[in-house]
Amino acid sequence: MHGLGELEAAVMDVVWSVDGPVKVRDVLDELDTGKELAYTTVMTVMENLRRKDWLDRERDGRAFAYVPRLTRAEASARALRDVLDASGDPEAALIHFAHSVSEQESELLRKALPRKSRKR
């Protein structure tokens, strides 16, 4: 995910896959990074994500439970917006993107964009 490190993105994948609040232990148990990770490492990453406004937390007994501030789709849209803003030429970037989409994606875009009425 744009703007996240590899471990941060892996943690967000786990958080997004869970329906409802998730504790550090739950994320640690689900993470599949190919590396043995310490509980404190995952806790630090989740706190960093909270400070970066990717996660919210609430007290759950002696621990915290975390929830995403954005859905995966909202985060993807934010990343696309950041890319367009940084492109220097958003029109050219959009045109190149439009030529790269599949027929199905093109149809989704057509349905999602509101039709603007023409004033005469």
pTM score of the predicted model: 0.79
Q: What is the pLDDT along the chain (120 residues), one digit of tens a residue?
A: 667 999 999 999 999 999 999 999 999 999 988 889 999 999 999 999 999 999 999 999 999 999 999 999 999 998 889 889 999 999 999 899 889 999 999 898 888 887 755 555
**Do 36 and 21 contact (CB within 8 A), yes or no?**
no
Burial of 49 per CB tally in 10 Å (0-12, 13-18, 19+):
buried
Please give the pLDDT value at position 30. 94
What architecture (CATH level 2) is domain 6-68? Orthogonal Bundle (1.10)
* Spatial CA neighbour of 50 closest among 32, 27, 28, 68: 68
Domain boundaries, the chain: 6-68, 72-112
| 3-state class percentages of the chain: helix first, strand second, coil last, to nearest 5 | 55, 10, 30
pLDDT of residue 32: 86
Tell me, what's the pLDDT at 110?
Answer: 87
d(CA 119, CA 105): 29
- Type of residue numbered 3: G
